[in-house]
C-alpha cells in the first residue's frame, strides 16, 4: 500500500492528468476521478505507460450530480490528499442534475460536497491536505445570494469567475474551521495560469492562443507544490510560479465565506460534522 493516498478530480486530461501522473511518479496511490469512464481509463493507461507499476486507478465521479458525489465518497476507504481540480468554464447557462447553475454547481458545490463527505477520512490521516484549483478569474466574480441560479443575468465569464471566487472562499473558510478545531488539515488554493488544456481547446483563436499558453505540466506545478511541499501553510493562494498571490477583497471577506458555507450546506445537504460547532 502506498504511503500517500491521493484523489485528483478531473484527472482524465490537462492539469489534472499531469498532477496525477507526477503524484504517481512520486509513489502516491492515485485515484483518477472523472465522469467519463473511457477518458478516465485512458488516463490511467497513460500514467501506467509513463510510470510502470504505478498505484493508480479510476473511479467515476460526476460533480454535477450530488448522487454521484455521494456514491463516489461512499466507496473511498482512505485519503490523505484531495485535489479538487475538475472544472468547467465559459459555457452557456445550464443546470446540474440537482438544479444548480452549472458552473457554480460543478466547480464549487460538487467539490464542497465531496470534501465534506470525505472529511472523516481526511481527518484520520496524519497530514491531510485539500488543494482547490481556483483562478485569478475570481476577481471578476460576485456572489448574489438572491440570484445564485443567475436567472436574471448570466455571463459565461462572470459565472466562471463567481465559481472560482467560491473556490477561494471555501478554501479559506475550511482552513479557519480546521484551525479552530485543532486539526492538522491544510487547505490551500492555486491559480495555474492560462494553460493549454481543454478549457482553451475550442474557438477560432485556439491555434493562436496556444502559442501563449503554459503547458499542462507547468499548470500542474502549483497544485503539486501545494500538495507536497513541507513549506506549505494552510490558507495560502499560490500562483503559477508557486508563490503566494493576493486574493481579491471579496475572497478575504470572512462574513461572505461563512454565509457561502451555510448556503452550500443547505443546498448540498452535506455537513462537515467534525467542524459543525466551529
* Domain residue extents for the chain: 5-273
Q: Where do we find the cell 501553510?
A: 233
Residue 48: what are its φ and ψ, rounded to 5°?
Answer: -65, -30
The pLDDT tens digits for 35-69 are 999 999 999 999 999 999 999 999 999 999 999 99
Mean pLDDT of the 90-101 span: 95
Q: Pairing state of beta strands 56-60 and 237-238? A: unpaired
Look up the pTM and report it. Answer: 0.92
CATH of 5-273, one of 3.40.190.10, 3.40.50.720, 3.40.440.10, 1.20.1250.20: 3.40.50.720
Task: Considering the candidates 154, 160, 225, 237, report the single residue annotated as catalytic.
Answer: 160
d(CA 148, CA 170): 16
* pLDDT tens for each residue of 165-221: 999 999 999 999 999 999 999 999 999 865 444 444 444 444 544 444 445 566 789
**Angle, in degrees to the nearest 10, between helices 216-228 and 14-25:** 50
Tell me the residue length of the chain: 278
What is the reported pLDDT for 205? Answer: 40
Cα separation, 237 vs 133, whole angstroms: 9
* Closest to 130 in 3D by CA, of 140, 141, 143, 116: 116
Q: What's the DSSP call for residue 33?
A: E
Is position 154 annotated as part of the catalytic site?
no
Q: How far is CA 8 from CA 18, 33, 79, 107, 180, in A?
A: 10, 6, 11, 14, 27
pLDDT for the residue numbered 277 = 54
Distance of alpha carbon 79 from its chain centroid, rounded? Answer: 15
Amino acid at each position: 500500500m502506498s504511503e500517500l493516498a491521493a484523489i485528483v478530480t478531473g484527472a482524465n486530461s490537462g492539469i489534472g492528468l499531469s498532477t496525477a501522473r507526477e503524484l504517481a511518479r512520486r509513489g502516491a496511490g492515485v485515484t483518477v476521478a472523472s465522469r467519463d469512464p473511457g477518458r478516465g481509463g485512458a488516463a490511467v493507461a497513460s500514467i501506467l505507460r509513463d510510470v510502470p507499476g504505478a498505484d493508480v486507478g479510476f473511479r467515476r465521479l460526476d460533480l454535477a450530480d450530488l448522487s454521484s458525489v455521494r456514491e463516489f465518497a461512499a466507496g473511498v476507504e482512505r485519503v490523505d490528499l484531495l485535489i479538487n481540480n475538475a472544472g468547467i468554464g465559459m459555457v452557456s447557462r445550464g443546470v446540474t442534475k440537482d438544479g444548480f447553475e452549472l458552473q457554480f454547481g460543478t466547480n464549487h458545490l460538487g467539490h464542497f460536497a465531496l470534501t465534506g463527505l470525505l472529511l472523516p477520512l481526511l481527518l484520520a490521516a496524519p497530514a491531510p491536505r485539500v488543494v482547490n484549483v481556483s483562478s485569478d478569474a475570481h476577481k471578476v466574480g460576485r456572489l448574489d445570494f438572491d440570484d445564485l441560479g443567475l436567472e436574471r443575468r448570466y455571463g459565461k465569464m462572470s459565472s466562471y469567475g463567481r465559481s472560482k471566487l467560491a473556490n477561494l472562499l471555501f478554501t479559506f473558510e475550511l482552513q479557519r474551521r480546521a484551525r479552530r478545531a485543532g486539526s492538522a488539515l491544510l487547505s490551500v488554493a492555486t491559480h495555474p495560469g492560462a494553460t493549454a488544456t481543454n478549457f482553451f481547446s475550442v474557438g477560432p483563436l485556439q491555434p493562436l492562443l496556444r502559442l501563449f499558453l503554459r503547458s499542462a505540466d507547468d499548470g500542474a506545478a502549483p497544485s503539486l507544490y501545494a500538495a507536497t511541499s513541507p513549506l506549505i501553510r494552510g490558507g495560502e493562494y499560490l500562483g503559477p510560479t508557486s508563490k503566494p498571490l493576493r486574493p481579491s477583497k471579496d475572497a478575504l471577506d470572512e462574513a461572505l465565506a461563512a454565509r457561502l458555507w451555510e448556503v452550500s450546506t443547505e443546498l448540498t445537504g452535506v455537513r462537515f460534522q467534525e467542524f459543525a460547532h466551529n
